[in-house]
Amino acid sequence: MTLNSVNDSRIAGNPPYGGFRRLARGFSLVELVVTMIIVGVLAVSVLPRWWGNSGFDERAFRDRVVAALRYAQKSAIATRLTTCASFSSVPAAVSFRISSANGATNCAAGGVLLGPDNNPLVIVAGNGVSFSALPADIVFNGAGSPASAVVINISGLNASLAITVEAETGYVH
């Protein structure tokens, strides 16, 4: 058999060198099973986060409250005026005021605390988000310290995500 006769047999449609011709190409059983396992793991872990809130609204509200409390505390330090945070339950919300007198014990004589965007600083929760228990009002004195330590729990979040305001320093975390 010459080199030309081998090439001629391939052109004629005979299987090369006596092997079997593969008529259809596709995936092996192992490849299909591995792909199905990967798709199953993704479906179990990723898809519920898209269709359910899974605490996203609660965590967003918590983070906004922490940021607003820090802003109120820093405003008290910067202006040397008392700032107050008042909590309401339905809907869950936090509103902020600032006193007009130096050394005031509350914010009765004052106005609303304006946020960084020059609008009144009010944080309102989304649907279904609430406080576990309605917290007492927080009053930051001119040095940024609250009257006492405060722990704020938001329903749907575990205890490690509670908002804490330290008594001595006013640090919010």
Fold (CATH) for 56-165: minor pseudopilin epsh fold (3.55.40)
Q: Is 60 exceeded by the pLDDT of residue 116?
A: yes
Q: Where are the domains of the chain?
A: 3-51, 56-165
Strands (E), the chain: 83-88, 93-99, 110-112, 122-124, 138-140, 150-152, 163-165
Which residue is associated with the tokens 């008392």?
Answer: 82
Which pLDDT value is given to residue 156? 82
Which residue is associated with the tokens 């179990």?
Answer: 44
Reported pTM: 0.69
Per-residue pLDDT tens digits for 82-113: 999 999 988 899 999 999 988 888 898 999 99
Which pLDDT value is given to residue 14? 58
Which pLDDT value is given to residue 27? 86
More confident residue, 79 or 6: 79
Instruction: State mean pLDDT over 17-24.
Output: 60
Which residue is associated with the tokens 């898809």?
Answer: 47
Per-residue pLDDT tens digits for 25-79: 788 999 999 999 999 998 887 766 666 556 788 899 999 999 999 999 999 999 9
- Give the residue from 51, 62, 53 showing the smallest Cα distance to 130: 62
Q: Is 70 exceeded by the pLDDT of residue 2?
A: no
| Contact between residue 69 and residue 146 where contact means Cβ atoms under 8 Å apart | no
Which pLDDT value is given to residue 78? 95
- Give the residue from 53, 39, 71, 49 showing the smallest Cα distance to 128: 53
